[in-house]
Structure formats: C-alpha cells, structure tokens
Amino acid sequence: MTWKRWAFTAASFAAVIGVSAYFIIGWWRAGSTITLPATAHFLAALAVITEIVSRSWKITWSAKAAGIDLDFVTALRTTLAGDFGASITPARSGAEPARFLVLAEAGVPTSSALVVLFAELFLEALSLATVVIIVAIVFRHAGVVLGALVGVVGAYAGFVLGIAITAVVLSRRHVNDAPPRWARRIGLGGKRWLVIQRWFAQVRTTVDSVKHIDLRYAAGSYFMSVIHVAMRLCVLPALVLGAGAHAPLAPLALWPLGLLYGAAIVPAPGGGGAVELAFRAALAGVIGNSLFAAALLWWRFYTFYIYILLGAIVAGNTALRAVRKTVEMEEEFEEAPG
C-alpha cells in the first residue's frame, strides 16, 4: 500500500485501540473486571475454531461443487489470508484480493479461483439470510435489536446478491472491441476499456462454471456457511454467560452479529472505533457494570484481533502482496490513457 493508505490504516487502528482503552479503563476503574474464567475463554475459542474450520470446509466444498480440486489446508490459508487482508484495508476491500492470490499461488487457475470466491460470497449471503430468518423466528419478541439486525445484515446480503445478479446479467452481454459512447463519456476508453473487456470475459467464464455446479457439494458448502455465521452469534454469549452472568440471550447474540457485518461498510479499517462505540451504546446496560470491560475486551479479541494474528502467521506476506498488487492495478487503471 502507499504511505497514505498505511497512515490511514494506522490512524484507524489507533482510534480502535484508543476507544477500546478508554471504555475498558473507565469501566475497570468503576469496578468492572477485565478477566474472565477459563470456561468463558474455552467456549469463545471453541466458537472461533468452529467458525474458521467450517468456513474453510465451505471453500473446499464450493470448489468441489464447481469441479475444482482444492485441499483443506489451502482453503484454510485462503480463509485466514482474507481475514488479514480485510482487517487492514478500508471496508474490508483487501479480503478478496488476498484470497485470490493464495489460490493463484497454490496453482488454481484464474477462472477457477474466481468461481470459488464468487460461490463463497454468494453462499455467505444466502446463509446470512437463513440465519436471520431463524433468529427472527426464535427471537421474534426481541424488538429493536431484531429490526436493526434485519436491516444491517439484510442490506449486506442484498448487496452481495445484487452483485451476483449483475454478474449473471453481464455474462449474457457481448462487449465490443470499441468502447460504446456511454463508456467514452465517463473516461472508459483505450486501455481502460481493455481492462473492462477482460473483466467481462472473466465474469462470463465464472458464471458459466457456476451454472454447472454439483448440488451435493453445494449443499454441504451452504450448510458449512450457515454454521460459520451461527458461530458468530455465539461468541459474546459464550463470554458473558460462560462467566456465570445473568443476561438476556437475544441482545447478546443479535447485536454483535449486526455490529460485525455493519463494520464491513465502515470505510476505516477495523471500524475506526465505531464498533466499540456501538457496542457500548447497545450492550452496556445488558451486560452490566461488573462485566462490561471484560466483555468488550475479549469479544473484540475473539472476533477481530485473533483473526489478524492468525492471518498474519499463516498468510500475512501473501495478503500484503495482494493488497499491494491491488493498489498498483488501481493506479495503473487511473493513469491509463482514456
């Protein structure tokens, strides 16, 4: 990344850590604990491990559904690389380039890698919709929190599904060698139009491959996707209820899921402190004074920082190369003659 983007990332992380420290220290001085019993950590870690493993199996089976041989270890590296790339880039924009580069370096052809990533995003949206429908039935009396979750997650799932529909529509269109008038008007001529042509060709290849998927593996991948989303509901309840506290389950499960997916639309890497502020506003009264500092600290660790740590260990260098290549491509596209 350029120094400006690194500075923006550093400032955002400073805001995240600063806001967290402010709340944690303030509540700790007011009598809140910052430690949790081993049971709470075990349950939260188990949820994280299950989430990562199920997401890796989802990628493996998504690939098999499209007739692509992808081993579990590569899928695991792909998963964690995407998490690391997402954490250090605005609006999680580095996730897909990092995953793509891991697949490419593992010998997966470009068209096949795009099929895997497309299927992964599509199943993510479907599983989110499934989980939201289930929790809407189970927690139908949850009130405001349920409406907020449906709004945030529904918007995210709708965005992803919209991309899928757009890809299908574009795959049916033929792109001429000469840019049309509307493209020239917005500066998409010359080399820029060549880039657009290559993109259209990749979209057509990807969609054609998805049309011939093996439904058995696709169903298994969808099931794994539902599990991985469900595990994100479980982390905060595991921490709070695992510590022996008495708190209503609905807000403990539903607010964090909305915050996690809501953070994906925040431009600043890590949310720039917005997640911590929303967590304080939504859950301080639910968790209570004695446990709030520990709940915020460890929930953030098990849903954000641990993925940065694991991603950096497993595929940090690959993710950084992917982010740099993406920036270089963006700069090349911007500087290309129209």
Q: What is the pLDDT of residues 42-96, one digit of tens each?
A: 999 999 999 999 999 999 998 888 888 899 999 999 999 999 988 888 777 788 8
With a CB cutoff of 8 Å and minimum separation 6, the contacts of 157 are 125, 126, 128, 129, 132
**Band (266; pLDDT cuts 50, 70, 90):** confident
337 or 214: which carries more pLDDT confidence? 214
For residue 308, the model assigns a pLDDT of: 93
Q: What percent of the chain has pLDDT over 70?
A: 80
257 or 1: which carries more pLDDT confidence? 257
For residue 238, the model assigns a pLDDT of: 97
For residue 271, the model assigns a pLDDT of: 80
Q: Looking at 17-31, 52-66, 116-130, 166-180, which range is the least confident one?
A: 166-180
Q: Is the pLDDT of residue 317 over 50?
A: yes
For residue 54, the model assigns a pLDDT of: 96
10 or 196: which carries more pLDDT confidence? 10
The predicted-structure confidence for 186-204, as pLDDT tens digits, reads as follows 565 666 666 666 666 666 6
Q: Is the pLDDT of residue 142 over 70?
A: yes
For residue 59, the model assigns a pLDDT of: 93
Q: What percent of the chain has pLDDT over 90?
A: 39
Q: Looking at 85-89, 170-174, 219-223, 229-233, which range is the least confident one?
A: 170-174
Q: Is the pLDDT of residue 161 over 90?
A: no
Q: What is the mean pLDDT of the chain?
A: 83
Q: Is the pLDDT of residue 231 over 90?
A: yes
For residue 42, the model assigns a pLDDT of: 97
Q: Is the pLDDT of residue 100 over 90?
A: no
Q: Is the pLDDT of residue 286 over 90?
A: yes
∠ CA 81-126-253, nearest 5°, is: 80
**Band (7; pLDDT cuts 50, 70, 90):** confident
Q: Is the pLDDT of residue 215 over 70?
A: yes
Q: Is the pLDDT of residue 333 over 50?
A: no
SS (H, E, C) the chain: CCHHHHHHHHHHHHHHHHHHHHHHHHHHHCCCCCCCCHHHHHHHHHHHHHHHHHHHHHHHHHHHHCCCCCCHHHHHHHHHHHHHHHHCCHHHCCHHHHHHHHHHHCCCCHHHHHHHHHHHHHHHHHHHHHHHHHHHHHCCCCCHHHHHHHHHHHHHHHHHHHHHHHHHHHHCCCCCCCCCHHHHHCCCCHHHHHHHHHHHHHHHHHHHHHCCCCHHHHHHHHHHHHHHHHHHHHHHHHHHHHCCCCCCHHHHHHHHHHHHHHHHHCCCHHHCCHHHHHHHHHHHHHHCCCCHHHHHHHHHHHHHHHHHHHHHHHHHHHHHHHHHHHHHHHHHHHHCCC
- pTM equals 0.84
**Band (245; pLDDT cuts 50, 70, 90):** very high
For residue 332, the model assigns a pLDDT of: 52
Cβ(332)–Cβ(97) below 8 Å: no
- Under DSSP, the state recorded for 179 is P
